[in-house]
Amino acid sequence: MATGLWKNVGNQVIFYQTQPQKVLMSRSKELRERARELPDDYYVVLVGDMITEEALPTYQTMLNTLDGVRDETGASLSSWAVWTRAWTAEENRHGDLLNKYLYLCGRVDMKQIEKTIQYLIGSGMDPRTENSPYLGFIYTSFQERERPSFPMGTLPADEKRHETAYTKIVEKLLEIDPDGTVLAIADMMRKKISMPAHLMYDGQDEQPLRTLLFCCTAARSLHCQGLR
């Protein structure tokens, strides 16, 4: 009998597959056919967003640098820690979704992309929030909005909800500590909201993020690292 992830067949345990192999094969063929006609610049945006989403360990680490709201044990029951873990769990499915789509579509060089993700997680990020929850939540309320929204599954709805949550935190801060919050907003604006993937490196191009942004606005016949 099937029990969640796996089932027993005879004396063997096999992973439970919800769709027969034939259906999976024809669906992935269908997906590749649909993907064939999409212009390259769509893929430049998807690759950039996927790499950014996949560096999720960095963002959870960043949230746990903030004084007073960090997850002290890794399984803390404080509301802040519960929120951060639930947020991380939702963000995790964004990278998964984009990664699986890009893998199946056959349009991009996955090895190059995976290398870039590995470099990016290894580099971390410095949003200059300096352990301050004020600066941290001002940063996240802007940053959630900057994520491009693709009509893919639950992704846009998650990002919208995240933006609403972080914006509400900043609204509450403005209500209970207007002076401190306005100073923090001014500080963050002076420092500028850096892209979460600002330390992106693909092993060849020193500034792939700049190249990526250039490619997004360039002519459709672009040729860019990570695309073939």
Q: Which residues bind Fe ion (CB under 5 A)?
A: 91, 94, 144, 159, 162
Closest CB to Fe ion among residues 107, 162 = 162
Contact status, residue 152 vs residue 101, Cβ threshold 8 Å: yes
Element (H, E) at 93: helix 79-105
**Phi-psi bin for 9: left (phi > 0), alpha (psi -120 to 50), beta?**
beta
Pairing mode, strands 12-15 and 6-9: antiparallel
CB of 6 to Fe ion, least distance (A): 29
CB of 65 to Fe ion, least distance (A): 18
Closest CB to Fe ion among residues 144, 202 = 144
Closest CB to Fe ion among residues 28, 60 = 60
CB of 90 to Fe ion, least distance (A): 7
Closest CB to Fe ion among residues 90, 114 = 90
CB of 205 to Fe ion, least distance (A): 24
With H, G, I as helix, E, B as strand and everything else as coil, classify residue 2: strand
Cα-based distances in Å from 121 to 39, 51, 99, 108:
29, 10, 16, 20
